[in-house]
């Protein structure tokens, strides 16, 4: 999962949900179009090549996330941001 919501939002004590973009290693997910971003193995600690499925933005209970594995480099984070904007038709 890529945490998408703002840190201030994520750290609010009474708020239990966070906004995320799912990450998949499925080859079929990688063929789904401009709202999927390729993430190379090793990026942000990913053990193998994956994709960010930006058209499936969702919320999760904060308790479901147990550890942080890494931080996406700026260029990949901008690609994810662009794909989320495309999926939601945001300017």
pTM of the model: 0.86
User: Top-level CATH class of 2-88?
Assistant: mainly beta
Round to whole Å and give the CA distance between 19 and 6. Answer: 9
Burial (CB count within 10 angstroms: exposed 0-12, middle 13-18, buried 19+), residue 54: buried
Round to whole Å and give the CA distance between 74 and 1. Answer: 16
Tens-digit pLDDT profile for residues 32-88: 788 999 999 999 999 999 999 999 999 999 888 888 889 999 999 999 999 999 999
């Amino acid at each position: 999962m890529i945490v998408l919501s703002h840190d201030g939002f994520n750290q609010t004590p009474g708020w239990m949900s966070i906004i995320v973009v799912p990450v998949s290693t499925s080859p079929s997910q990688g063929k789904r179009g401009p709202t999927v971003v390729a993430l190379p193995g090793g990026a942000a600690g990913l053990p193998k090549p994956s994709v960010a499925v930006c058209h499936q933005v969702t919320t999760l209970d904060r308790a479901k996330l147990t550890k942080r594995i890494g931080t996406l480099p700026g260029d990949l984070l901008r690609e994810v941001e662009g794909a989320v904007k495309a999926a939601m038709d945001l300017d």
